[in-house]
Copies of this chain bind each other. A is one copy, B any other.
Amino acid sequence: MAKAPSAAENGSAEKNAAAKWAVRYSNMQELLFFAYRDFTAGPDAILSDYGFGRAHHRVLHFVHRWPGLTVADLLEILGITKQSLARVLKQLIDAGHIEQKTNVRDRRQRELYLTKEGESLAAALSAPQWRLIEEALQAAGTEHYDAIVAFLRRMIDEDGRLAIGALEEHRRRPEGD
């Protein structure tokens, strides 16, 4: 089914190599499932105290990372519909965690910023995840950081990588004021 990286193309040695990689790939599938689940468990617990969910965390995270983000930007990053976003965004604004400012150049656009409360909530949510990442990097060996990033990055599809790239570019060229 899946061909092993650098598998020898000779008879039963090839078969063994293929089987070895099949097991590794299955392991990887499971590891990703469990790791992602436990990675989100920490913030989820905090969020439930606020009546928020994972979706709120994502919005807080990306607004924190790219202050002044527009609603359209956020929709593209998250890959959800505006109706889905509107629900959580409205709750975050009502709760005073996010502020909207009208873009002076194009008054249709709303730039999103975290309030002080929003910043501190975002920080609190990130804390358990940072701790996990730090521990995991230690376990893996910090010298493998680049390889791990390369691995995860390559798992993101073309569009996603482009979306991230576009944002980084947008950030370099503030253009707002």
Contacts and interface: CB of A to CB of B under 8 A. Distances in A.
A8 interface: no
B29 A133 contact: yes
Given A3-B134, A29-B126, A58-B33, A140 B156 contact: no
Contact of A26 (B4, B31, B65, B142): B65
Nearest to A127: B1
Contacts of A145: 24
A51 interface: no
B154 A151 contact: no
Given A135-B154, A147-B148, A154-B140, A126 B31 contact: no
B1 A35 contact: no
A140 B147 contact: yes
B34 A131 contact: no
Interface in A117-152: 123, 126-127, 129-142, 144-145, 147-152
A27 B61 CA distance: 11
A6 interface: yes
Interface in A77-129: 79, 123, 126-127, 129
B35 A152 contact: yes
Given A2-B130, A148-B148, A139 B156 contact: no
Given A29-B133, A140-B151, A147-B147, 4 more contacts: A3-B134, A31-B152, A133-B155, A139-B154
